Structure 1
Amino acid sequence: MIEAVMLWNEPNNKSHWDPDLDPDWLLFAEMVKAASSAIRAENARLPQVLGGISPIDPGFIGRMAAQGVLDAVDAVAVHGFPLDWNLWQIHEWPAKIDEIRAVTGLPVWVSEVGVSSFGAEEVQGWGCARTAELLKGRAPRIHWYSLYDLPRGWEATTRHREAEGSSYYRHFHMGLLRQDGTPKVALDAFAKHTPELGLCQWFHFEDHRLDDAVAWMKRLGVTYLRTGLSWADSFRPNALDWFDRQMEALADFDVTVTFCFTPEHRGIAPHHTSPPLVREEFAAFCAEMVRRYAPGAALAAEPGDTRRVLLPSL
């Protein structure tokens, strides 16, 4: 079942939203508010989460509050990779959560946290165990990124590529399973902490790993998952057939579905990070996906009956 929807992914990261086209995130704020309203018109009780931020920046959350975005969502989310990309140490996780709690009363989810095996699988295994120790009981949702390594023949969704040394290549070593599906050292460490820990696994269009991923998640005791439905992919031939197959395969999990990625022909610039030309088009996509996969009652008369009631709490 779909337990929540997430509006965009890492909006404060240039790899996912272009600040040159929207330096004050005003276009982003208006897009999210329009999407939230459209979703609530389809299912008033479906929790909505602001796209997980990376880096963890309370100033950005404050900006979203000032622009009315936090009034439209039920939770905020953060992403952290202190052993690979962030300039802070892993033991600072509790403090990073508290930094966000200091600027909003909304629940704070950890919708992506992970460690690559780029240097050594043993480092990833230790990092998984230590992450669980630091975060369990501090966040209502903790999504480990990810189940699978990114296949080397694919492209990581980022802009820095080889320009930052090993940073680009670490994207390909974040899985508990190797590209060929064989387990790494960290798999056993992760399994000790389910179902408290869930997963974040992005499935590419017509991803060949989907059925095997479902089998692995059930074997590991995973009960909740974060994935995505891409607005850009919705323009591919047979897109709805793939979306239907994906959501049917994941029906036994509590799924947070992330809506993101601008189609090249619908952005101010021809890139997935671009603000859309017409924000209502993104809202319409979100509404269509909710209508198809999480239909519910129309907007309730009392706002208090529609907010924060279904979110997992500590």
Structure 2
Amino acid sequence: MIEAAMIWNEPNNKSHWDPELDPEWAIYADTVIRAGAAIETANPAITKVLGGMSPIDPHWVNLMRGQGALDAVDVVAVHGFPLDWNLWPIHAWPEKIAEIEQVVPDKPVWVTEVGVSSFGAEEVQVFGLERTAELLIGRAPRVFWYSLYDLPQSWGATTRHREAEGSSYYRHFYMGLLREDGSPKPALARYDRHAADMGLMQWFHFEDPRLDDAVACMKQLGVRHLRTGLSWADSFRPGALDWFDRQMEALTDFDVTLTFCFTPEHLGIVPHHTSPAREPQAFADFCGWMIERYAPAVIEERVAIRA
């Protein structure tokens, strides 16, 4: 079920990792090395993915190489939203991937988040989905469209400055192929043509009421590859393991790239989910624990024996 584990989400974006606390990403690199080792110990068959970068930045990748982080992963990942937030045109996608391939010729480059909001017009999302499919399917080994559902307005988006960001903030709520109420947007029918080749990225919040409907919709679409996450911070909530078990059981029919991220406030250098952990090994232990629970190596071996 779990084919890959991603070590954090957008670590070079201050909405997800605080650069003031770790200006050279030395703590993040140490976190990757420790988490990669923990995942490898739990199940060496799991593909280890460097946290999907946003913005796409070869200089940051070289920084990670210099600090040993690339030795701990199998895949480098990029995120891009050229019609909403990036300062480059959608047609430049092949060139952006090539920039990273030039500095990591020894590892595949996955596109683990790409999407277009319907904030301005739903027709723009339709165009963006079709053009993305044309440019990326066959160009990258894994492509994940973000996302299935619009983000509910009442939940709030995970950004640093929230409403002060203006329209950049509000675009976060319109990235789905389905509206908040579950009704389809025009882009859903276009995605249906590409579901077998372009996966979906969908965050499921703690005890997310959309889980079962999302699974049913993805199966109807023929989705094969799914990227989602398990929150280290959520693991300290009452009933966390019950929720994690339910979520992962619901996703057993998909090839899952599982993202581990979000620092518990009581374990951060400062009490915030973007803070580096005071003890990076604690995060690594969480990653290893989750792989042991949901993708243990012994099960992989038994499946191989039966085959």
TM-score (norm 1): 0.94
**Unpaired runs of at least 5, structure 1:** 299-314
Q: Aligned AA for 1:158?
A: T
**Is 2:47 aligned against 1:47?**
yes
Match of 1:244 in 2: 245
- Report the Cα offset of residue 162 of structure 1: 2.0
Counterpart secondary structure, 1:71: helix
How big is each residue's C-alpha offset from its partner over 1:199-224, in whole Å with a ceiling of 9 and x where there is no partner?
00000000000000000001111001
How big is each residue's C-alpha offset from its partner over 1:230-283, in whole Å with a ceiling of 9 and x where there is no partner?
000000000000000000000000000000000011000110000001111001
- Report the Cα offset of residue 49 of structure 1: 0.4
Matches of 1:170 and 1:264, distance apart in 2: 27
Counterpart secondary structure, 1:196: coil
Match of 2:118 in 1: 117
Match of 2:192 in 1: 191
**Unpaired runs of at least 5, structure 2:** 300-307
Matches of 1:251 and 1:131, distance apart in 2: 27
Q: Aligned AA for 2:280?
A: R
**Is 2:207 aligned against 1:206?**
yes
Match of 1:306 in 2: none
Match of 1:145 in 2: 146
Alpha carbons 1:44, 1:297 under 8 Å: kept? no
Alpha carbons 1:214, 1:250 under 8 Å: kept? yes
Q: Aligned AA for 1:117?
A: S
Which range moves more in the overlay, 211-220 or 38-47? 38-47
- Report the Cα offset of residue 194 of structure 1: 1.8
How big is each residue's C-alpha offset from its partner over 1:38-70, in whole Å with a ceiling of 9 and x where there is no partner?
111111121100010000001111111111111
Match of 2:279 in 1: 278
Matches of 1:42 and 1:252, distance apart in 2: 21
Matches of 1:160 and 1:185, distance apart in 2: 31
**Is 2:31 aligned against 1:31?**
yes
> Where does 1:127-276 land on structure 2 (aligned, <5 Å)?
127-276=128-277
Matches of 1:86 and 1:160, distance apart in 2: 17
Match of 1:303 in 2: none
Counterpart secondary structure, 2:70: coil
Matches of 2:248 and 2:195, distance apart in 1: 22
Matches of 1:83 and 1:61, distance apart in 2: 24
- Report the Cα offset of residue 297 of structure 1: 5.3
Counterpart secondary structure, 1:157: coil
Match of 2:303 in 1: none
What stretches of structure 1 move > 3 A for 4+ residues in a row? Answer: none
Counterpart secondary structure, 2:118: coil
How big is each residue's C-alpha offset from its partner over 1:121-162, in whole Å with a ceiling of 9 and x where there is no partner?
010011000000010111010000000000010010111312
Matches of 1:163 and 1:59, distance apart in 2: 29
Q: Aligned AA for 1:5?
A: A
Counterpart secondary structure, 1:50: strand
> Where does 1:94-113 land on structure 2 (aligned, <5 Å)?
94-104=94-104, 105-113=106-114
Q: Aligned AA for 2:68?
A: G
Counterpart secondary structure, 1:8: strand
Q: Aligned AA for 2:163?
A: E
Larger relative contact order (Cα-Cα within 8 Å, sequence gap ≥ 6) = 1
Matches of 1:38 and 1:147, distance apart in 2: 31
TM-score (norm 2): 0.96
Alpha carbons 1:42, 1:297 under 8 Å: kept? no
Matches of 1:47 and 1:188, distance apart in 2: 31
Matches of 1:165 and 1:175, distance apart in 2: 19
Counterpart secondary structure, 1:110: strand
Counterpart secondary structure, 1:227: strand
Q: Aligned AA for 2:176?
A: G
Alpha carbons 1:146, 1:175 under 8 Å: kept? yes
Match of 2:68 in 1: 68
Identity, % of aligned pairs? 70
Q: Aligned AA for 1:225?
A: L
Counterpart secondary structure, 2:92: helix
